[in-house]
Structure 1
Amino acid sequence: MTPHAADLQDRFALAQKMATEAGAVALAHFNARERLVIETKADPHDVVSIADREVEDLIRTRIAAAFPGDAILGEEYGVSSGTSEYTWVIDPIDGTSPFVNGMPTWCISIAALRGEEIAIGVIYVPCNDELYAAADGMGAALNGKTLKLDGSRTIRNAVTGIGANNHVTPATVASIVEKLLDAGGNFIRNGSGALMLAYVAAGRLVGYYEPYMHAWDCMAGYCLVKEAGGWHHPFPVKGDGLTKGSPVLAAATGAVNDLRAIAGL
């Protein structure tokens, strides 16, 4: 094994270990959520709790101990610079609104970029004990079982995930839904973009589209979809692009053209 491959393997192993450890911490808070102090961010539906911050602290601490030269971008604490070619991109709890409202559709999302390429994607769903894991050239798996997408699935014989937030107008969301339904498709929204991207990689959804999403919400899912044989719209990572929002679209091959037309991408 080359040093380059060994570096990736070591970080991939750490990502999976961190995800399950962080998931246990988050699940303990979830099961005692009546004691959580909830704060709002940009709007009443954009919330954060001590659980989010504690989980991100844990992940940052583990990364700093194992790979002190790596940069880290996290939803709660922003960017810390590094000296290596790796940048970790983490969402401590994606789906905080479902989390604080007692729904199981939330997850821990951990990704790592090597240069400008997504090299690692790990998503852990504590309520279901599901670990989605992928690394560049190593494929994607769910709890150790290889994930491979079915190219015969389309928007008309499968379900598409749709995301929305305060960055997107209600009219825009309504237009997306209308176009998808007019094309013969159907949709769900479960409150976690990262989890719905994992569902695309697992073949549970045929695609996922959100007009505006941050890197910490989508990087791990993008890696999973790519390694499972799907396609994703590029996310801008050069310069300060990684810290800004972008349209996010990922799909199995049979749904790509339809969803790109619906999204205008």
Structure 2
Amino acid sequence: MTTTDEGLDARYDYARTIALEAARMGMEYYRNRSGLTIEHKGSDRQDMVSIADKRLEEFIRSRLAERFPEDGFVGEEGGTLDLQACCLWVIDPIDGTACFLNGLHNWCVSIGLAIAGEPVIGVIADPNHDELFHGCRGRGAFVNDTPLRVSEATHVSQGLLGTGTFHKEGKHHFIPFLERLLAEGGMFFRNGSGALTTAYVAAGRLIGYYETHLKSWDCLAGLVLVKEAGGLANDFLAGDGLLQGNPYLVACPGVYAQVEALIGPSIRIGQPERIRRNS
């Protein structure tokens, strides 16, 4: 990491401020969602976007660019900018758009920062529940002011496992995995937001989360939280994971290997990355 600690502190503080502001803006759109124009991305009727997504991303990117003009961006709606920059913001302005547009509370604002290719800062703002999940490499992870710690579960039967599948890629792995999970006495959970589901793993509310294919803007912020909370993650950014996505697994240490075995070879794009537990 080549940025200074002072520069890291400034980015961490500002990311929290901007995420909260964007979340408040998102709530205004959410309360008036019946008037939003909805578009569908390509042929996938489940992959939706609204003017709220676009305006929130424009707001986040413009504010970050004003403060840190040397940084680059990867955004779900706005594409990429300056990918060679050392500091790269990875943004999902409304993660869980389908939930947002259908009046469900499972959506959030997700802002992550990678430095020299490594996830370093993660901020996830959930205005429906007044929760701000945030973390920074080596400094821990928190929900509001409460430290996060992953579950102590040692078997999939001891908690809920977040799951999901992307309709275009990897879905043929999904049902076989669910069958194996249920056979082991496990139970699955899905809320429609990859960022929130990952945050719940960091908070110990879920024992893990498997997605057959996820995009970086859905999970890069959450990866920081899980690692800082003592969890494990597969090497999601391997290959072209930043731009094209990859299979995704995060879990507490006690169940990671079991879940990986239940998934099978499709998850093994990289070995689990062990992060030291914070004292």
Name the TM tier (shorter chain): over 0.9
**Partner residue, 1:27:** 27
**Deviation readout 1:118-164 (Å, 9 max, x if unpaired):** 10011111111110000000100001111122333531110000011
Partner of 1:72: 73
Paired residues in the alignment total 263
- Give yes or no for the alignment of 1:186 onto 2:187: yes
> Aligned to 2:256, what secondary structure does the other structure show?
helix
Contact 1:75 1:90 in 2 (8 A): yes
Say which SS state the counterpart of residue 158 (structure 2) adopts: coil
Name the amino acid aligned to 1:247.
P
- AA aligned to 1:81 is D
Check the 8 A contact 2:74/2:217 in 1, yes or no. yes
Letter in 2 for 1:207: G
Q: Is the 8 A contact 2:151 2:206 kept in 1?
A: no
Pairwise CA distance, 1:165: 2.1
Task: Kindly report which structure 2 residues correspond to 1:19-98, keeping only aligned pairs within 5 A, or say none.
Answer: 19-42=19-42, 43-81=44-82, 84-98=85-99
2-structure distance, mates of 1:258, 1:126? 34
Provide the rounded CA distance (Å) in 2 between the counterparts of 1:237 and 1:133: 24
Per-residue deviation, residues 36-63 of structure 1 (Å, max 9, x unmatched): 0011113111100000001100100111
Compared with structure 1, are the counterparts of its residues 169 and 211 closer, same or farther at alpha carbon in structure 2 (3 Å cutoff)? closer
Q: Report if the CA contact (8 A) 1:231-1:253 is conserved.
A: yes
The RMSD of aligned alpha carbons is 1.6
Q: Distance in 2 between matches of 1:241 and 1:133?
A: 22
Aligned residue number for residue 255 of structure 2: 255
Determine the structure 1 residue equivalent to 2:208.
207
Determine if contact 1:116/1:237 at 8 Å carries over to the other structure. no
Q: Is the 8 A contact 1:91 1:217 kept in 2?
A: yes
CA distance in 2, matches of 1:236, 1:83: 16
SS in 2 for 1:156: helix
Whether 1:245 aligns to 2:279 is: no
Counterpart position of 1:117: 118
CA distance in 1, matches of 2:150, 2:228: 9
Amino acid at match of 2:107: W
Distance 1:237 1:69, change over 3 A: farther
User: How much has 1:176 moved relative to structure 2?
Assistant: 1.6
Contact 1:94 1:193 in 2 (8 A): yes
Structure 1: any 5+ residue segments left out of the alignment?
none
| Partner SS, residue 157 of structure 2 | coil
User: Aligned partner of 2:246: which letter?
Assistant: S
Paired with 1:154 and 1:161, the residues of 2 have a C-alpha distance of: 14
User: Which residue identity does 2:216 align to in structure 1?
Assistant: A
**More displaced, 150-159 or 133-142?**
150-159
1:44–1:109 Cα change, 3 Å = same
- Mapping of 1:208-227 within 5 angstroms? 208-227=209-228
Alpha-carbon distance in 1 for matches of 2:188, 2:84: 42
Structure-1 separation of matches of 2:250 and 2:217: 15
TM-score normalized with structure 2 length = 0.90
Once the two structures are aligned, what percentage of the paired residues are identical? Answer: 42
Cα gap change, 1:169 to 1:89, in 2 (>3 Å): closer
| Contact 2:237–2:246, Cα closer than 8 Å, also in 1 | yes
